Amino acid sequence: MLVIKDLKVKVSDTDKVILDNFNLSINEGEVHVIMGPNGTGKSTLAKTILGHYKFEVECGDIEFYGKKLNSLSTDERAKLGIFLAMQDPTEIEGVSNSEFLRTALGEVSGSKVNLYEFITAIEKAYDDVSLNKDMLHRFVNKGFSGGEKKKNEVLQLKMLKPKLIILDELDSGLDVDSLKIVCKNINDYLKENKKASVLIITHYPRILDYLKPDYVHIMKNGNIKQTGDLSLASFVEKNGYDGINAVEERDLNE
Amino acid sequence: MNRITVGKNFSEEVYLDSKDSKYYIEVEENASLKVYHYAVDKSFEVEIHLKGENASVEYFYSTLNRKDNYFRIKVFHDVSNTKSNLVNHGVNILDKKLNFVVDGIIPKDVVGCVCSQDNKIMNLCEGKSSIAPNLLIDSHDNIANHSAYIGNFKEDVLFYLKSRGISQKIATKMLTLGFLVHDLENEEEIKDFLKYIDELS
Ligand SMILES: Nc1ncnc2c1ncn2[C@@H]1O[C@H](COP(=O)(O)OP(=O)(O)OP(=O)(O)O)[C@@H](O)[C@H]1O
Ligand SMILES: [Mg+2]
């Protein structure tokens, strides 16, 4: 569903290159993980997939179901079914959660949202992620705790029903119980939507106890250096990213 | 000129219809007034006097602007222990001028007042806007503060909305609504204004 080919991305209006020669393919129903040191370009990748204004694609392609995303606006990409749960969700003064979600749902589905169905669905979603329903009437993310913001992202994805879910450090800011809850929600979603795929960006293998990955990629200096299975995540946990070159050597020796 | 007086001990809430371009407002002892002033493409001069102790005014000015316009408001804290809170928000749609001149005046020997202003203008295009906040305060023992912002809706905020499938146009409408409309409970009073926001493109 997602194919990224030889992607080079720089910070807009500068010469600073962040992703270079980046390649990644994700098929329907797969769970991928990207791990990598701070500042290596993981969030940049996630934002670039959604056409963030701060980043510019110098060359290479991003394709989603065969459609080139490069020239599409952010909302057009979202309408195709890509959802990014952000590392640091933005606070939006003056716009309530309910108005926001109802509008988003109308835009993504391309039809008018039935108010009764909307309220029923959203109240259930609040219960599912164990957030207080009063938050519906609060401004988007405004004054939410770190964990509440993350749960609010998962709530949105449950409502918007994307095909590709990108989770940028969903686990940071969530306590153990909350992490279990949101992962259960995502797993349930994947059970109901067998073709949906997930790209998890994380520093900690703990989230992988709940969301079972098919592939683990290690990213360093702007591209993927190594791909493996869950054991690669454990290896990094034990040896750090400095050990990644050693992994390559180890593989060579095998 | 339109005159509004709030008598001693009264508490009122008014919606200005914007038919006049000048308003003169007096608030007497222990009285309070809340003003919602919604305007489209017009200039105004407003003078407010807080005439008795414990008089207070809250003034919400919200404007959608396409031409060259100004909003000039002066609040006189004529006596001690009076309170004013001005929230002036404008959305400047095209490349014309929108100017706010906002004066808070506390004369000598008047103390215990709170005088605050929040002035913001969003320029959606290359609009030329200015905000002149003036706090003319001749004595200590008063609390005065102001904030002023001229710019556009934040890119991060727009990105967040768009990342959920909301188009630039609808995102701008939502943000304009949130920025300008403080009292959706009284939708009937401002239905014309809401229509203008809805027609934004
Ligand atoms: N607007 C910007 N201007 C300049 N440099 C930027 C900008 N945005 C990001 N960068 C830089 O790009 C690099 C990659 O940042 P990114 O946020 O993608 O890292 P990350 O892999 O997600 O790190 P972390 O694990 O800490 O979240 C960093 O060095 C960062 O400082
Ligand atoms: Mg990051």
Confidence of residue A249 (pLDDT cuts 50, 70, 90): very low
pLDDT at B17 > cutoff 80: no
Query: For A187-199, what is the mean pLDDT?
Result: 97
Q: What are phi and psi for residue A55, nearest 5 degrees?
A: -120, 145
Q: Where are any strands of DSSP class E within B56-96? A: 56-65, 69-77, 83-92
Residue B179 in any domain: the answer is: no
Q: Whose CA is nearest to atom 31 of ligand 1?
A: A39
Does residue B157 lie within any of the structural domains? no
Q: pLDDT tens digits for B99-156?
A: 999 999 999 999 999 999 999 999 999 888 999 999 999 888 999 999 999 999 999 9
Residue A234 has pLDDT above 60, yes or no: yes
The answer to whether residues A158 and A189 touch, using CB atoms and an 8 Å cutoff, is yes
Let me know if residue B164 belongs to a domain.
no
Contact A104/B at CB under 8 A: yes
Is A137 a domain residue? no
Provide, rounded to the nearest whole percent, the portion of chain B with pLDDT above 70.
Answer: 100
- Cα dihedral angle (A50, A136, B170, A48), rounded to 10 degrees? -10
Tell which phi-psi region holds residue A21, choosing left (phi > 0), alpha (psi between -120 and 50) or beta. left
Q: Running DSSP on this structure, what letter comes out for residue A112?
A: P
Q: CB-based contact (8 Å) between A75 and chain B? A: yes
> What is the arithmetic mean of pLDDT over A5-32?
97
Rounded average pLDDT over A10-24 = 97
A-chain residues within 8 Å CB-CB of B167? 73, 75, 107
B4 touches chain A (CB under 8 A): no
What the block records as the tokens of A33 is: 């993980």
Q: Report the pLDDT averaged over residues B83-95.
A: 96
Is residue A247 scored above 80 in pLDDT? Answer: no
Do the domain assignments include residue A79? yes
pLDDT in tens, A20-37: 999 999 999 999 999 999
Q: How far apart are CA B128 and CA B38, in angstroms?
A: 21
Residue A85: domain span: 2-91+162-253
**DSSP single-letter state for residue A137:** G
- Out of A1-10, A64-73, A109-118, least confident range: A109-118
Q: Across the interface, which of B159, B167, B175 has its CB nearest the CB of A95?
A: B175
Confidence at A252, pLDDT banded by 50, 70, 90: very low
| B68 falls within a domain | yes
% of chain A at pLDDT higher than 70:
96
- From CA B52, how far away is CA B27, in angstroms rounded? 7
Cα(A156)–Cα(A116) distance, integer angstroms: 18
Whether A222 is in a domain gets the answer yes
In the predicted model, is pLDDT for residue A250 greater than 60? no
Work out the mean pLDDT of chain B and round it to a whole number.
94
Residue A172 lies in a domain: yes
- In a domain? residue B107: yes
Interface predicted TM-score (ipTM): 0.94
Ligand 1 neighbours (beta carbon < 6 A)? A 11, 16, 18, 36, 38-44, 54, 87
| Mean pLDDT, all residues of chain A | 94
pTM score, whole prediction: 0.92
Q: How many domains does chain A have?
A: 1
Q: Copy the structure tokens of residue A28.
A: 């329907």
Number of domains within chain B: 1
**Contact list, B171 vs chain A (CB under 8 Å):** 75
Q: pLDDT confidence of B19, banded at 50, 70, 90?
A: confident
Average pLDDT over residues B82-93: 97
In a domain, A98, yes or no: no
Ligand 2 centre distance from Cα of residue B85 (Å)? 41
Q: How far is B116 from chain A (nearest CA, A)?
A: 20
Please check whether residue A151 lies inside any domain of the structure: no
Residue B85 CA to residue A30 CA, distance in Å, equals 55
Selected for mutation to probe chain B from A11, A12, A72, A75 (highest B CB count within 10 Å) is: A75
CB < 8 Å from A in window 155-184 of B: 155-157, 159-168, 170-171, 174-175, 177-179
Distance CA A129, CA A182 (A): 6
Can you give the pLDDT at residue A253? Answer: 45
In a domain, B146, yes or no: yes
Cα–Cα–Cα angle for B97, B101, B104, nearest 5°?
A: 165
The pLDDT value given to residue A245:
65
What is the Å distance from ligand 2's center to A45 Cα?
9
Strand, coil or helix: A247: helix
Of B160, B174, B179, the CB nearest to A99: B174
Q: Is A93 on the interface with B (CB under 8 A)?
A: yes
Contacts of residue A220, Cβ cutoff 8 Å, sequence gap at least 6: A36, A37, A40, A241, A244
DSSP-derived 3-state class of residue A15: coil
| Residue B191: inside a domain | no
